[in-house]
Amino acid sequence: MVELTNLAFVFVAGFITALATGLGAIPFFFVDDVGDRWNVALWGLASGIMVSASVFGLVLEAFGSYVSLSLSGLAVEAIPRRLVGLLAVGLLTGVALVVVAHRVIDDYEVSPKRYEAADVKKLLLILGILTVHSFPEGVAVGVAFADLGFSGPTLFGFVVPVLGIFMTVAISIHNVPEGLAISIPLRAMGVSEWRMVWWAVFSSLPQPIGAVIAFYFVRLAREFLPFGFGFAAGAMIYLVLTEFIPEALELGEGLPGGGKPELVAGLVSGFALMVPLAFL
């Protein structure tokens, strides 16, 4: 069985990523508006961190799990083909989930105005849509903590995998500009600063739930760990390509160069930050 303390630790990690969304509203405590230049750079930074963490963390970790799988009693010569197959299926499944999420969100627009005026049924609908939207990010956090208690530095009495720390940081950084994007229209509606923080955090509350579910699954079925890594990596990379970068370019339309210099600077900074750490 998976220890309750480990589940609680992973939930806290996922909850930290949700709280980070609320940081997107903090600038409005001090200024009336946030420049697009900084917003584009943040999207780029988050994209660079998440792609590098997915490729050099999740995917390489899936191949690294070959050793642990061989110790589970499976035929060693059969593992590489099985591993590659599980990883590929996981990648495709992660992409498929994001595609479905996009279609759901396109069909049911979730606007801040509906947040403020929602009754119970509308809130349930909104929460359901947000679950589909942010679940892959929570899954990435949960899967990254698969080796919790086995390897990594000690943190608050837990042996924490470095990949789990990286992924928590990556998702948290991504959530800051997402929270800012949620807060901008709320500001225009005259919503108070603390309520903007609440609604920003609310939009990411499914992430700790997804993290716990994914962590529980990979701990119970270790032989399917490559699928979990592939799923999280596929979802993250596809999200970056179809959401984060297009969002950054849309925000940067009015900037010199269309915001591309800021986006590239953010991407390069994200890679420069994460790639060396991935090989420590």
Strand partners, 155: 158
Of the candidates 33, 252, 277, the residue with the CA atom closest to the CA atom of residue 161: 277
pLDDT at 225: 75
On whether the CB atoms of residues 168 and 137 are closer than 8 A, the answer is no
Percent of the chain with pLDDT over 70: 77
Segment 197-215, tens digit of pLDDT? 988 888 888 899 989 988 9
User: What phi and psi values does residue 31 have, to the nearest 5 degrees?
Assistant: -135, 165
CA-based R_g, the chain, Å: 19
pLDDT tens, position by position, 84-121: 788 888 889 888 877 877 776 665 555 555 555 555 55
Nearest to 278 by CA among 242, 233, 248, 244: 233
d(CA 164, CA 44): 21
Beta bridge partners of 154: 159
* Distance, CA of 265 to CA of 104 (rounded, Å): 32
pLDDT number for residue 111: 56
- For the chain, domain boundaries: 4-24+34-278
Residues 6+ positions from 51 with CB-CB distance below 8 Å: 236, 237, 240, 270, 271
> What does the alpha-carbon distance between residue 65 and residue 56 come to, in Å, rounded to a whole number?
14
pTM for the model: 0.69
User: Across all residues in the chain, what is the average pLDDT?
Assistant: 77
What pLDDT, on a 0 to 100 scale, did the predictor assign at position 73? 47
Q: How many CB atoms lie within 10 A of CB 27?
A: 20
Pairwise CA distance, residues 217 & 223, whole Å = 11
215-239 burial, b if ≥16 CB within 10 A, otherwise e? bbbbbeeebbbbbbbbbbbbbbbbb
- Report angle CA 70, 76, 79 to the nearest 5 degrees: 85
Is residue 276 predicted with pLDDT exceeding 60?
Answer: yes
For residues 215 and 6, the answer to whether their CB atoms sit within 8 Å is yes
Determine the pLDDT at residue 39. 77
Task: Look at residue 12 and tell me whether its pLDDT is greater than 80.
Answer: yes
